[in-house]
Structure 1
Amino acid sequence: MFEPVLLRNIDVPDGHRLSTYEAGGGYRALAKVLREHTPDEVVDLVKQSNLRGRGGAGFPTGMKWGFVPKLADKPKYLCCNADEGEPGTFKDRIIMERDPHQLIEGLAVSAYAIGAKTAYVYIRGEYVTAIRRLERAIAEAHEKGYLGTGVLGSDFNFAVHIHCGAGAYICGEETAMLESLEGKRAQPRLKPPFPAAAGLYASPTVINNVETLACVPHIVMRGAHWFRGIGPDKSPGPKLYCLSGQVRKPGLYELPMGIPLRQLVEDHAGGPLPGRRIKAVIPGGVSAPVIPEHGLDVGMDFDSLAAAGSMLGSAGVIVVDDSTCMVKITTRIIEFFHHESCGKCTPCREGLNWAVKVLRRIEAGEGAPGDLEQLEMLCKGIFGNTFCALGDGAAMGLRAALVHFRDEFVAHIEERKCPFH
């Protein structure tokens, strides 16, 4: 039986309070690194654990920290991406609402490792409860000496600030988030330079996801060997999976990285609703290409899903049963990406607008021969030709739907109506 680590406090009364967090061993990791480890040793420990970013890209966290120059004439910053705008994803919200001190300790340890004195938590403005509890937790941590000047009697000074976003999906992209933090319009930056060299205010900056940072104190206390002993060696550790859609037991599950997708959906989430069969699963938020039912025997980790033509992304697992029209789902997803595109890149701005018009026409029973080929052409024009991954995610999702469920698109065009509704 897998013992939860990241979610150990979510069902504990007052789990968001400092006293509860301390009673469970909270802030011991921070005290340990300040007392026993140099910043470089903490970076090496995280490298040894092979912790990969839980925000979507899966980049090795220790390696990212190692890119920050040790000697810099500007201050270093740590930014936490808590925007969580990916549909089907709610794991970071639960951590911030139910166990905010876990995030704060992760921020403090990480900031110590990279030499930062200031951290910003960029959180979506709709997360009102999470914002209030984070604010309260920061105040509690200051009062007890876990934040502020001379943390726990050391020479480490550290402050955490909250910045509320305004609901723009594009701010989940790290450089667009930095632009927003600086008070500019949120649009992705051209890279290089990368944030580690020139990020917030053109200073060295590390950007990590909430779940990624929450893993850090556990690695410090339990060791890199413990972390690597969970799941596959190339993508180890505990993982939070968000289950939603047409399943009996939707919710947030903490399980080992690499668990088979079929086991996750059928055993843990209870399988499809009564009288229904699973048609497909979106494994990592709507940016991840859909996987048909026959492909569900794949591990939920970065490498296995990539080999299967999809991606882990945010681990927002959305289950679709056989009562649902894939043309309708695909249309809604591309409408979302079109609406949330910042408009900076012509392929994304114009290509998604064109794709939405074609998909709406097909869904309405007004499709024409050549429409599917036109959609494929649009995917080719968008993919790999934009500043950020928004256009890539949209193109990959549309392309996968056309490959795996082409018969439904053809039926809409030939029958001049939706066969499901």
Structure 2
Amino acid sequence: MKKSDNMSARGGSQPEADQPLAGATISGGKKTNFIILGLIIVFALNLFTVSAVLAEEADLSQDELVASLDEAQALATDELESLDEVEIDEPTAIPGTFSLWWRGIKENISLAITFDPIKKAEKQLLFAEERVKLANFITETSEDPAAQEKAVAIVARANQFMEKVQARSESFLEKTNERTTKLLANVARHELNKEKVLTKLGDKVSLENIPELHKLKDTIAEKTKIFLEKIAENENIPEEVREKITIRKEAITVRQEEQVELREASKELLEKALAGDEEAKVEVEAKREENRTDRKKIIEEFKNKTQGLINKAKESVPDQQTAIRELQQIKTKAINVIKNEAEIIKNRIETQQRIMGGEPASQSGSGQAVQVQNQEQVQSQVQVQEQKQIQNQEQIREPARVETGSGKVEPTQPTTELDVVK
């Protein structure tokens, strides 16, 4: 999706006030895609009730509006994000075997005659992103298992391009400039896009291919984590750009952790399905269909909620700047939620590693007792972290403030998830 596409009125009319929020549940209910749905809940509660007392800022341009909306949508939904100043045509058809082979030939020739390392890395990123977009197109337009297998192979090839970028990254990490900085920021955008497509493929590939997809995802996750951490910690990169890279790295971490949790929760069911249990197969497919439906609802909900502000910001009206600032606040809200979730995940992993690594388990009775005790401690610590997550999410949903007709600024009534679904 090109950035200009974000300004189009694709969301349709805004939903009725009593329409249930996509993916919302009564407090305590089980959710899938918990962090993404949580983000949308936060947006719905705050989008049209943001503070009317805004700091004095310079006027914002339409380009900044588009950038803020594109970034907010990228962080909050499974919609792919545009790369900065990289034009990529949207796919219109699923390529055949010969078409993919010919594409590969042209890519290899183009890279072979490119000797500048930065230019070569830019091309490899371009080719990788084109393939991720192509795989995304397949997941959204086809139900054919063979097409989904092709999409997995396309993503794997995209990852090979990025592994080559990673392999020679030292040369442009040591001495950065505006060009290499833009390249590295686009790498982070691409990796988040790739993670989204891998998640979609998890709900589309045939049951028999799920284990193989999990292996690919694990391999990509490990290498991506190391590379993005190296970029985010590079002090040669301007702080503003590092922040953009870091938040995408954290968004990837949150999404990957979510998928690991869902994988563990459905591990036994998947094993039964792969062993031929027909009831298990039906249940697995039902869960995957639910995930697909949730993702579509979330994207539509986001577009519906933002369309009014987009229209307002496009017009020459007195509150145009207010609309633009409100869209920026959406992005800020997404960043805050993701940072909070990433910190919880980091603390939980560190706690598990510390406790499990504290005492080596042995076959003796005392060693087994220590192992059991450590496991109980880990479970207890995880429960504490989950409770903190709930508390932090409630703090993020603090009452917004609105300006009344008399000019006074008063807080709105708190809104709960139960209120959302009424």
Report the TM-score when normalising by structure 2: 0.26
User: By percentage of residues, which structure has more strand?
Assistant: 1
The structure that is helix-richer by fraction is 2
Q: Which structure's relative contact order is higher, taking Cα pairs within 8 Å and 6+ residues apart?
A: 2
